[in-house]
Every structure is written in C-alpha cells, then in structure tokens.
Amino acid sequence: MSKHNHLRPVTDTLDATAFLLPAPKLADKWCHRVPIRLAMLPEEHPLHRIVHNKISGKIKHHKSPLNNLLAAYRHDPREIEKTPVTVRNPALQDKLPFAISIADNREDSIREAEDTSEVVQVFTDGLAIDSKVGAAAILTREGNPPCALHLQLGPKSKHTVHEAELVGILLGLHLISTEKHGSTSFALGVDNQPAIKAFQSALRSPGHHLARETLRIANQVQKQKRKGNYKLTIRWTAGHEGIEGNEDIDRKAKRAAKGKTSDKKTLPFYLRKRLLINPAAVKWAHHKRQMKMWKEGWKASVRGKYAAHLDGSTPSRKFLNSISQTELSRIDAS
C-alpha cells in the first residue's frame, strides 16, 4: 500500500457510509465483474461455448485477455446462474396466478394480518446467520397440525437473502400445492417487499429464476384447483411486530440458516438439486475481500499509522461520517 493512498472526503454523489477503494483494487473489482458477467451468458450466446470450455482458463501459451481473466478468478461458469435470453412479456407482468397485497405502512400490515379471512395461513422467511443463508415456510390450518419445510441454501458468498426470501415463497407454494383440501382460500405472508415485487418485474435479475419457477407452479396449482373456491393472496406482513406466524417462521428460518434442511423428497423438485451460484453474492463477497485487504494495508501504511493517532477508528464509517459533514469544506475535512 503506497503512502499516497488515502481516504477521500465523501461527496454528495457518494453514500456517506461507503469507502473509496484505491485505484488498483478498484480496477481489480471491475476486472472481477467481467468473468462473472461472461459466466452468466445463456447457451444461445456466441461466447457461451468459449467461456464454458474447461480449458479456456488453462491455456499456457498465446493467452487472450479472456483467458487471463478466467484464469485469474477461477470461477466455474457452469455453476453460476444464467441470464435468460428472452425478456418477460410485459403484458403478463400484471396477470399473476395470485393476488398481491402490500399495505401502505406497518400498522396497516398488522391490521390486515389480524383481520385476515383466508382459511389457510402460510408464512415464509429467508435470512442469513453466521455467513450461512437459509429459508423456511410453514402452513397452518385450524384443527390440523402445522406443516413446515426448511432449506439451507449455502454460504453468503454464493447466495443472497433476497434469493432466500424467494426460496421461502417457493417452499410455501409447494406446501399449498400438496395440501389435500386445496380448494379454499390461502394467504401467504412474506415480510420482504422486494421479494413480492419481483413477480411484477422482468425477471432477469440474479435470483429471479426462483420467481419464474414459483410462477410456473402457481399457474399449475391454479389450473388444478380452479373448479373450487381456490384463491391465493401473497401479503406483506411486517416483521418483528408480534404477528404470531411471522415470529414462528423467523425461528424456523434461523434453524434453516444454521443447517436444518428438510428431506429432499418433501422439497419442490426444483430445490432438490444444488442451486446455481448467485452472481450478485459472488461480486459482493469479492468486494468485501478487497475492502478487508485495503483496510489491513491502510493500517500498516505510514499514513494509516499517523491517522490512527488522530482517530483510532480509521478507517471506519464513524470517521467518514465525521469528515463528511455538510458544513465542512474539503480543506477542513482533509
């Protein structure tokens, strides 16, 4: 780490809690994104075959920039999630096999949960604990014992909480599809609004392959049960507000993140195999490694040691916030 590398004051265009990486590490971050983006290419893309060739990153002589990038970061393209070729038909984004209900605020969400009229209640959740990601779903019907499913997705370096939330919804829908008395009304409670809104998007972002599978199953269930009084509503239920089903599913999701997984035969077929790696998780994990290396280098540098005498928290968000006050000029902050 050069002694000339230093913290720059945060400007209006930068989040006050963010750090500016030194140029070499910033360049490495952008280079790392290239092979990840290439690994996401679908089979129909002309570069897919080249990138997925087993020896493409092992060529010893006459290497191209592509070979150098694949060899430098060593990600297996076959294990990374792919971007779909076709964009979702915009006309279908509002034609869903279920209703969506997102309250304007937490108070209205609690009121909806208390006044719900659906016969069967399903709650889902996804979260991360100790760098592991898990999801769970529970189905409750008055007079019957509850049914629950758990799944640990894997480490945070390969999966995201948003992805876990979508897995939870898929698990919940699977419980609905296997319910013997299914011609009735169902409410599926989710405490994450972005996961619910994903069903109204183009479905081309990381993790959205789970939303596409959920819609496929939801359409099947709707066709199977349309002769009866089947109705499904996916509802946002505010978390940590004492809603009984929410509190219970939160505990089950924590167990899933810690390693509890239901028997494969009870899981949806789509989740019985190992999930593809989420590219967003891979990029974030690389960014965190770069941040850690930079902080260690900064603290060991001459300028870093001098700054530590002025403020022992450097480099930290607390320090950046202290020099990012609007009343301070750039000279005063420096």
SS3 307: helix
Say whether both 236 and 150 belong to one domain. yes
For residue 212, which of 227, 222, 201 has the smallest C-alpha distance? Answer: 201
Rg (CA), the chain: 24
Cα(307)–Cα(309) distance, rounded to whole angstroms? 5
Cα(142)–Cα(119) distance, rounded to whole angstroms? 8
**Domain boundary residue among 259, 275, 291?**
275
> What b-and-e string marks burial along 90-109, b requiring 16 or more CB atoms within 10 Å of the CB?
eeeeeebbbeebebeeeeeb
What domain range includes position 55? Answer: 23-82+281-333
Give 245's contacts (C-beta < 8 A, 6+ positions apart). 113, 121, 123, 138, 140, 189, 237
Helix (H) or strand (E) holding 149: strand 147-155
Extended strands (E) in 202-255: 231-236
Ranking 145-159, 277-291, 299-313 by mean pLDDT, the lowest is 299-313
Say whether both 118 and 252 belong to one domain. yes
pTM: 0.85
> Across residues 303-315, what is the average pLDDT?
84
pLDDT-based confidence at residue 52 (cuts at 50, 70, 90): confident
Say whether both 198 and 263 belong to one domain. yes
Does a structural domain hold residue 192?
yes
Are the C-beta atoms of residues 188 and 176 closer than 8 Å to each other? yes
Cα(261)–Cα(252) distance, rounded to whole angstroms? 10
- The pLDDT value recorded for residue 212 is 94
pLDDT-based confidence at residue 307 (cuts at 50, 70, 90): confident
For residue 214, which of 120, 133, 126 has the smallest C-alpha distance? Answer: 126
- Specify the CATH number for the domain of residue 266: 3.30.420.10
- Measured in whole angstroms, the distance separating CA 75 from the mean position of its chain's CA atoms is 19
pLDDT in tens, 258-272: 999 999 999 999 999
290 token code pair:
């770069």
Say whether both 47 and 173 belong to one domain. no
In terms of DSSP H, where are the helices of 228-278?
244-257
User: How many domains does the chain divide into?
Assistant: 2
Say whether both 182 and 236 belong to one domain. yes
- The pLDDT value recorded for residue 20 is 74
In terms of DSSP H, where are the helices of 13-64?
23-39, 48-51
Does a structural domain hold residue 9?
no
SS3 277: strand
CA distances from 210 to 99, 206, 270 (A): 18, 9, 9
- The pLDDT value recorded for residue 227 is 67
Say whether both 37 and 142 belong to one domain. no
DSSP 3: T
Ranking 85-89, 188-192, 206-210 by mean pLDDT, the lowest is 85-89
DSSP code string of 213-240: HHHHHHHHHHHHHTTTT-EEEEEE--TT
Does a structural domain hold residue 233?
yes
Percent above pLDDT 90 for the chain = 52
Task: Work out the mean pLDDT of the chain and round it to a whole number.
Answer: 86
Does a structural domain hold residue 53?
yes
Are the C-beta atoms of residues 276 and 284 closer than 8 Å to each other? no
Nearest-10 crossing angle of helices 23-39, 65-73: 100
